[in-house]
Amino acid sequence: MSVTTAEPDYVVVVNDEEQYSIWRSDRELPAGWEADGPAGSKDECLDRIETVWTDMRPRCARS
């Protein structure tokens, strides 16, 4: 018998310095981070980050 486990949903999160990451959607967000978009697969969330996070420098380092 084959058991398949569904991949958990993730959500894109962003902090005050406009740095992005992904977080499991079934877990409480860490302090200082907020959701930025709907939940989806890990690949969907990483694709979104690739699209929106075009400047990797923290906000405080940008002029």
Please list the rounded mean pLDDT of every run of 10 residues in the chain (63 residues).
Answer: 78 97 96 95 97 94 85
DSSP summary character for residue 40:
B
What are the residue ranges of helices labelled H in the chain? 42-52
How far is residue 58's CA from residue 33's CA, in Å, rounded to a whole number? 14
Rounded to whole angstroms, the Cα distance separating 57 from 33 reads: 17
Contact between 11 and 22 (Cβ < 8 Å): yes
Q: What is the pTM of this model?
A: 0.84
